[in-house]
Amino acid sequence: MAKGSLVKVAIITGYLGAGKTTLLNHILTNAEGIRAAVIVNDIGEVNIDAELIAKTGAVTQMDDSLIPMTNGCICCSLSEDLSNQLNDLANSGNFDYIVIEASGVCEPMPIAYTIQAFCQAGEEDDAPMLLDNVISVVDCARLLDEFNSGRDLLDGEDDIVQLLVEQIEFCSTLVLNKTDLVTDEQVAEIRAIVRSLQKKAVIVEAENGQVDLDELLNTGRFDFEHVFDSVGWVSAMDEADAEAREREEHEHEHEHHHDHDHDHDHHGHHHHHHHDDDEECDDPECHCHHYHHGHDHDHVAEFGISTFVYQRRRPFRENALDQMVEDWPKGILRCKGMVWLSEDSDMCYVFEQAGHRFSLGENGLWLATADEEYLAQLAETEPDALKGWDDEVGDREIKLVFITRGADQDAIEQWADSFLA
């Protein structure tokens, strides 16, 4: 292969024991005609996965087609080393594809961000690179155990469920592995769970990591913005915002109904190849990212999984979150969003829950704390930033996405309302 040719990259993520290395070995032993290099990350001193992969003989450290990265995580402490390794492999002219197996405790989004930034920042003489696919491998039996048992995956390891959810949320391909260890009905339930967390990723079922390579390599599926927007809670937040804008526009249209006939024809030039979220696209030429997954929405309804946005223009009372966590309702798979706290009314906080894991972090000051001059300037340069502005509280609000299973929305909203100031 000529130096300077496009080199594609795929990331394989998934929790410990999900079957990442098995899937990678399957790729390497069946990737005919593809010159692949492999980067294997392990946070420990000894990279067992790299040793197992080397035993296949498909890649070796001798010819630099196998790169172990140890004593750290490529999503944080080893991110710069990862960029350097990608640069060396791409510019060697020996490979046309690089597969990265992330450590089981890695968050996929920072890895994808590092690679995306590296691909875009290459020098003129560097080989062009493209992040082609982010593959999340899910252990079906383990996932069911977590979401059905009402307990953490391992006692004392609260972060595991949070990590598991994040690995499902941020991907372009989901491999439901070890389907032979669960029933067909349980597979359908798992599909419903993961579809509620990731709206658009392609879902592939597998036994022992056996997946058609066309579903893994040279897919062209990954797009950072699209994957992020397809995360369940992000998608729900966007839909709520869109509905709010539509209501505002509808009210505006009623106020200016006499202009309707004049404006009507200005929309004729738009491309109308659009599909609703519950609609399948059968056009092979369409690149709308609706990956023929309409049946998954049926499973979501069948297993009682629903998503709604809880939005209030009042703060939670002092110490409310501590009390809420103690009294957290059953059936909430995921909750994330912005909260307004009465004890710190100037700061916007991000609240997050997955399983039995809760976190709270600062997300910057509310715009309502800014002076009038800044707000006037913002209204000119970024008018959307002030959408939904309230004359009394500004942009302060509670806005939480709930993804639930078998739970009553009204009951959850009434429960949350009881903690308002």
Q: What is the pLDDT of residue 242?
A: 80
Q: Whose CA is closest to 144, among 189, 184, 206, 198?
A: 189
> Residue 292, Cα to own-chain centre: how many angstroms?
19
Q: How far apart are CA 365 and CA 362, in angstroms?
A: 8
Cite the residue boundaries of each domain of the chain with CATH code 3.40.50.300: 7-148+158-230
- Residue ranges matching CATH 3.30.1220.10 in the chain: 298-418
Interior CA angle at 338 toward 247 and 326, to 5°? 125
- Verdict on whether the full-model pTM lies above 0.75: no
pLDDT average per 10 residues of sequence, the chain (421 residues): 77 90 88 86 60 53 69 75 87 90 87 87 74 95 69 46 87 96 92 91 95 95 93 87 73 51 34 36 38 48 79 95 92 90 95 83 93 92 87 94 89 97 95
Cα–Cα distance, 123 to 364 (Å, whole number) = 35
Query: What's residue 286's pLDDT?
Result: 38
CA angle 235, 239, 244 (to 5 degrees): 150
Neighbours of 386 (CB within 10 A): 13
pLDDT value at position 303?
A: 67
Q: Any idea which residue has 């890895």 for tokens?
A: 111
The residue length of the chain stands at 421
CATH superfamily of domain region 7-148+158-230:
P-loop containing nucleotide triphosphate hydrolases (3.40.50.300)
Amino acid 269: pLDDT: 31
CATH second-level architecture of 298-418? 2-Layer Sandwich (3.30)
